[in-house]
Amino acid sequence: MSAPRYRIVHLASEMAPLAKVGGLGDVVGALAPEQARRGHHVIVALPGYRTLAIPSGWTRRRIPPREVPWGLGQEPAGFELLEPPAAASVDGVPPETRTPEEAPGGSLRVLLVEHLGERRFYDRSGIYDDPLRGQSFPDAAERFLFFARAALHGLSGLGERFDILHAHDHQAGWAPCFARTHFAADPAFASAATVFTIHNLGYQGIHDPWVLALAGFGRELFYPTAPFEFFGRVNDMKVGLVFADLLSTVSPRYAREIRTNGEYGFGLEGVLQRRAGDLRGILNGIDDAWWDPARDRFLPHAFDRDHPEGKARVRAALRQACGFPETPDWPLIGTVSRLVDQKGFDLVEQAEAELLRLDGRFVVLGAGQSRYQELFTRLMIQHPHRFHYRAGFDERFAHLIEGGCDLYLMPSRYEPCGLNQMYSLRYGTIPVVRRTGGLADTVEDFDPETRAGTGFVFERYEPAEMVAALRRGLTAWRQRGLWAELMRRGMSHDFSWRASADGYDRLYADALQRVRAGHVPTLETVRAQA
């Protein structure tokens, strides 16, 4: 019996390679093509940013604009439908190099949502932030509220019926609500199930109550415990959590953490605990064609688990690119990340003196909070033989770090899933991580007695704990036979999207079963349960 084929819509603010800021873009950019290869018909609704990077060869077709209700008036929305070449990959990897079997009948399209009003919400040089001011756009509430509502208008105009509306993070949080309220009678969504995925609960989209009027709801719905109220304000993430048929997040452990621990729940742990039976933890996968050391076009030499010799040459290339000396031959410790508190860089800041005593060299790629950019810039200037820092993001250098480093440092305060620890394991680069969220689900602490494990894990969020884990890694690196065994074990793990996509197929089936049984959230039922 063949698996069911669904008509799926993803609503997201990012999709690699068209628009990417962080892990959300990677996830949507890998999951959607994997689902299409399985035979599902997939559309990704995405804001039509000025900065979109549309690959060559994609077809582009305008579809009729629509007027979107907006408070007491309307705002015009434009739409463009994109489609990659037949059998091509959205990430640019040649289809002939892929291993998964192509499922018959699948398709992938992207619906760009444009704002044609006076302020042109997406016709700007940044996605979330104004690069000139270094701050979020002041109309962030309107930009993504409009996206969620206009996307449903554009999808309705395609004349198709959909099985699944899958909204990602707070930027798409209003979509499940609109599907059950303003679009409840629309044939395109009448039988569709809604799913809402939390990628990072630390970013919720919290705004003043006036946004309710723009969304088409009265102030009588704004009161304590109401679905739209959050400590006197409106919370886009909460709206998605209370209106979606089923919820998911990006690792099993994070699913437990966010509903049982106030530090990780950010005020929404009560809502999540009430919906504990509806919440699934599905571990993210990685695109194992894009992240494959045997055919990585960004690496100067290929290698794999059975032929690891090329890694030494990649390591030499990275050392040279950083200007590090050949002697003494110390391990290279890499990090590619947003430089923000969540990622644990305050631990690095506090442990600066101890890190400088280690026999290791650090390579950091990323941008974020000015204090951390200034920290790594200063360390590189003062200690050029120990620290190398590059600001911003560079795809080629990111792959060179993953391929050329010996250790990879992720000391996160919390981590919903994390992808870089999985990239690192695939590239024979041993992760040093804190036991939290997806890091705990993917990295097993090395035990020198049993020789089991794939990395070096620390528990308490303290600088000394992080430094101790690094020291354990540096000690193991000096034992060449042990290190080769550790590398091989990590490179044997399968973190591909195939297993993760199985989890989403099951999630969709459960959500549709609820809809067919008539268990659909409405404004009335959500208010009664609040």
DSSP strand pairing (407-410 vs 430-434)? parallel
The confidence band for 222, taking pLDDT boundaries of 50, 70 and 90, is: confident
Following CA atoms 93, 96, 102, 106 in sequence, which dihedral angle do they give, to the nearest 10 degrees?
50
Per-residue pLDDT, 319? 98
CB 314 within 8 A of CB 300: yes
pLDDT in tens, 463-476: 999 999 999 999 99
Q: What is the pLDDT of residues 425-482, one digit of tens each?
A: 999 999 999 999 999 999 999 998 899 999 999 999 999 999 999 999 999 999 999 9
Query: Domains of the chain, with CATH numbers?
Result: 7-285+497-529 (3.40.50.2000), 309-491 (3.40.50.2000)
Q: Quick: pLDDT tens for 27-52.
A: 999 999 999 999 999 999 999 999 99
Residues 113-139: what's their mean pLDDT? 91
Residues 6+ away with beta carbon under 8 Å from 292: 426
Q: pLDDT at position 101, please? A: 38
Mean of the per-residue pLDDT values of the chain: 93
Q: Tell which residue, 521, 516, 472, 527, has the closest CA to residue 191.
A: 516
CA distances (Å), origin 220, targets 66, 145, 150, 212, 526:
29, 20, 24, 10, 15
Burial state string for 248-266 with b = 16 or more CB within 10 A and e = fewer than 16: bbbbbbbbbbbbeeeebbb
* The pLDDT of residue 523: 79
pLDDT recorded at residue 92: 47
* Tens of pLDDT, residues 288-327: 888 999 999 999 999 999 999 999 999 999 999 999 999 9
How far is Cα of residue 207 from the mean position of the Cα atoms in its chain?
Answer: 23
Query: What per-residue string of b and e applies to 124-154 under the rule 16 or more CB within 10 Å gives b?
Result: bebbbeeeeeeeebeebbbbbbbbbbbbbbb
Contact 239, 230 (CB under 8 A): no
Say if residue 12's pLDDT is above 90. Answer: yes
Q: Please report the pLDDT score of residue 93 as a whole number.
A: 47
In this predicted structure, the answer to whether residue 235 has a pLDDT above a threshold of 90 is: yes
User: Does the pLDDT at position 267 exceed 50?
Assistant: yes
368-377 burial code (b ≥16 CB/10 A, e <16): beeebbebbe
Q: What's the confidence (pLDDT) of residue 524?
A: 78
Distance in angstroms (rounded) separating the CA atoms of residues 227 and 205: 14
Predicted pLDDT at 21: 86
Confidence band for 519, pLDDT divided at 50, 70 and 90:
confident
Residue 89 has pLDDT above 70, yes or no: no
Q: How confident is the model at residue 354 (pLDDT cuts 50, 70, 90)?
A: very high
Task: Give the pLDDT confidence score for residue 134 in this predicted structure.
Answer: 73
Q: Is the pLDDT of residue 339 over 60?
A: yes
> Whole-angstrom Cα distance, residue 386 to residue 459?
26
Per DSSP, 102 falls in state P
Residue 88's pLDDT is 52
For residue 1, is pLDDT > 80? no
Weakest mean pLDDT among 98-112, 265-279, 316-330: 98-112
